[in-house]
Structure 1
């Protein structure tokens, strides 16, 4: 009985370690995104103050319109750059989470399958078909998750490539 409890404890430990890695990844990327947002906001505020000063000293309507147009263009470019950086961080995070979850599904399904095999071996009825069905279900789940991760990563890359081509 103690060996079964030890096996379950080991599975729980592995799951906890994976959850901690995911939490750490989330915290680090959230910090990076907040830094980007704060830097962009500061820069936009400073430019806004400079623009207001320049607008107050404009002598003619043409100069006023040029200042407004330049400020709007600069603001738009900076906001797009900020969004692009956040999207890149998000894509990298998504890929890393996909990798971690895939690893967890792979090792977790193997560990769970082995634990179930040992548990069923100790029982009077040993149904190999049930074990095979469970392993197939776990493998199918892992494969589907990996496929979804690849598809979403490819879609994001295509979207960012289109955005890059549109700016040229």
Structure 2
């Protein structure tokens, strides 16, 4: 019933491996975000210079307004694409960390079940009811955890669908406003 040094070593090894996986996941996501930010900054600077040159080449206020309207949509689309990329990276990291947490939860459930079985075997006579009650409580807790986990996944999927719909609607609205501005100019 007591843990042996080998069991402690195994538990520690597992904990270290889990922490390394989490650290590697975090570093990979930071690296991806840094690359995204650098590329976005470079592109924004290049676009800004090109857009400024184009606007300065306008011959009259109508051409200036038309150019300004035509430049708004690509800028917004790039901003939306950046936001989607950041959201994608965050969602991917969250998914990886969830898998790690689920793996840990499964391991803990197995360890508790094994420990309860050992306790039940060495428990005094008549304690079967108490062990059964503990097992029942653990099963109920596991069921509640699974239900909450499924609900959280559904909420995340709905939020992702809403974010996608909102960004698409924003891009369309700006596009139609830019088209109207061109026609007015």
TM-score, normalised relative to structure 2 = 0.72
1:52 corresponds in structure 2 to 52
1:75 corresponds in structure 2 to 75
Rg larger in structure: 2
1:64 corresponds in structure 2 to 64
Mean alpha-carbon deviation: is it higher for 154-163 or for 96-105?
154-163
TM-score, normalised relative to structure 1 = 0.78
Answering whether residue 153 of structure 2 is matched by residue 150 of structure 1, we say: yes
1:18 Cα deviation from its structure 2 partner:
2.0
1:58 Cα deviation from its structure 2 partner:
1.9
- Rounded to whole Å, the distance in 2 between the matches of 1:4 and 1:138 is 28
Aligned residues: 168
Q: How does 1:88-167 map to 2 (within 5 A)?
A: 88-115=88-115, 117-118=117-118, 127-129=130-132, 131-133=134-136, 135-136=138-139, 139-140=142-143, 142-163=145-166, 166=169, 167=171
Mean alpha-carbon deviation: is it higher for 76-85 or for 50-59?
50-59
Compute the RMSD of aligned alpha carbons.
2.9
Q: Give unmatched runs, 5+ long, in structure 1.
A: none
Mean alpha-carbon deviation: is it higher for 39-48 or for 104-113?
104-113
Q: Which structure ranks higher in relative contact order (CA pairs < 8 Å, sequence separation ≥ 6)?
A: 2
- Tell me the alpha carbon deviations over residues 5-46 of structure 1, each in whole angstroms, 9 at most, x when there is no partner: 433442333233223212211221222122122211211111
